Amino acid sequence: MDIPQNQSGIVILGLGPGEDRHLTREAWEWLSQIDRLYLRTRHHPLVTSLPKSLEIVSFDYLYETRDTFEAVYEAIVEEVLQMGRQPQGITYAVPGHPFVAEATAPEIVRRATQQGIAVRIIEGMSFLEPVFSALQMDPFPRLALLDALEIGRLHTPGFAPDMPALITQIYNQMTASAVKLALNAVYPDEFRVRLVHAAGTRHQIVEDLMLYEIDRSPHLGLMTALFVPALGADTSLEAFQEVVARLRAPDGCPWDREQTHLTLRKYLLEEAYEAIEALDHEDADALREELGDLLLQIVLHAQIAVEEGEFSLAEVIQGIHRKIVRRHPHVFGEVKVSGVEGVLRNWQKLKDEERAMNGQDQPKSILDGVPLSLPALSQAQEIQSRAARVGFDWSEIQPVLDKVFEEINEVQSAKDDAEREKELGDLLFAVVNLARWYKVDAESALRAANRRFRQRFAHIEARARQAGRQLTSMSLDEMDHWWDEAKRMS
């Protein structure tokens, strides 16, 4: 909407990226006919080149009197709207383009529209064009645009690493350090990046450096941006989704196309156990590979669900994202809990509240949610843990130990095989409870014991071969000798 000079309303003007040669003709003509100009900030190279007849008023004082940028922007928006309702109106100028990396202009327009205040936008060249020129690159077909202050609050980059990214407002060393820490969750220290300073001005500098060096640059300032190249075409979840979708496409892999949720069950279980085995061996390389195999199963199931109209991977991620945030109010909210036990009790309480909100019947027992498909040791330990959360537990470890010995005696005094089997089950259950008290995962402990037995027995077999003996011809004492030898070696 066109607003004549000295009439109520708001004119939002883009000052361009830095120098007067970038100011649009429309902007210059408007600036030449008004008396007063309000600036979001005077920290812009063009300010000294504005018409001398202009009275310049800036909102820089708000940056000194407010605790956060959000509070600053809110105060600016309110003042601009208030002056826009006055008979003389207001011309409000921002760096670059009013709708590119500018928090105040879109909000002013939104509220002004609601309040019936006339608004005129005078375009300005954004900072992006000079940055792209400095980098000698075309942002198409894909580029992530991000704010350094937002990235700096995260623990991970927050964008797919298979696409390049431009991170703006790296305005000081602290901001650069925070951005670096977030990027380091995905990108190596030596990853090559580029810092662009004062793009489009006579002071423009482009630095090629490694990621770990970005907070050491002496040129960091209000007009600094960081360009992060793509890490690789095969480094994002989205790219992997496309691979799996291609496998399932009509011209994809015949085997993958035939799979269903049910036919993939055994592979999901196998890959989970192989990942556990890698954990047991503390083999990081194997774990990386096995987690990839497990991820394949998850993405395959999600792709099949998309084809069947059931759900998408985005819905899977959204569901678990919301659940984890909701069930950790002590991290993402204001709830206070004491220790791990407090977390677990609150977790159970939140689960019960969720069931009630969803109109689901409460389980008859807190043990109903323990999957029957779990291995027996894991199932036993989870049952005991859940019972302990509501106070069904001994207050000290001695009765737990006593119970183990009690069950051993009952095994020894069993009258027949059926009773002995029952008492052995009780003994195993008691031993699992002892493991829980010692904060040991019983399933992992037994898997480790199995692995040690296999290694030591393999040593006995190897020694027997070296001696030209058959195990069946050896005495227990002879095998025990080599067993003890294997124990000393491990």
What's the rounded mean pLDDT across residues 291-313?
97
**Residue 444 pLDDT > 90:** no
Find out whether 407 and 427 touch, Cβ atoms under 8 Å. Answer: yes
For 265-288, how does the pLDDT look when each residue is reduced to its tens digit (9 = 90+)?
A: 999 989 998 998 899 889 999 999
Locus of tokens 């069931």: 355
Q: Give ∠ CA 21-23-24 in degrees, rounded to 5.
A: 120
Cross-strand bridge partners of residue 205 = 197
For the 10-125 domain, the top CATH level (class) is: alpha beta
At 6 the pLDDT is: 56
Provide the token pair at 54.
């202009």
* CATH superfamily to which 237-308 belongs: MazG-like (1.10.287.1080)
- Indicate left, alpha or beta for 359 from its phi (over 0: left) and psi (-120 to 50: alpha): left
For 80-127, how does the pLDDT look when each residue is reduced to its tens digit (9 = 90+)?
A: 999 999 999 999 999 999 999 999 999 999 999 999 999 999 999 999
Provide the token pair at 192.
């090559």
User: If pLDDT is split at 50, 70 and 90, which confidence band does 162 have?
Assistant: very high
Secondary structure element (H or E) that encloses residue 180, with its range: helix 173-183
User: If pLDDT is split at 50, 70 and 90, which confidence band does 198 have?
Assistant: very high
**Residue 53 pLDDT > 80:** yes
The CA-atom distances, in angstroms, between 80 and each of 98, 428, 442 are 14, 73, 65
Q: Give ∠ CA 290-293-295 in degrees, rounded to 5.
A: 110
At 4 the pLDDT is: 57
- Indicate left, alpha or beta for 145 from its phi (over 0: left) and psi (-120 to 50: alpha): beta
Distance CA 210, CA 199 (A): 20
* Nearest of 182, 184, 181, 179 to residue 226 by alpha carbon: 179
At 374 the pLDDT is: 80
Provide the token pair at 416.
């027949």
Count Cα neighbours of 289 within 13 Å in the Cβ-side half-sphere.
6
Fold category of 129-228 in CATH = 3.30.950
Q: Which amino acid is at 317?
A: I
Q: What is the mean pLDDT of the chain?
A: 91
User: If pLDDT is split at 50, 70 and 90, which confidence band does 363 have?
Assistant: low
At 448 the pLDDT is: 86
* Nearest of 225, 70, 12 to residue 132 by alpha carbon: 225
Distance CA 364, CA 358 (A): 17
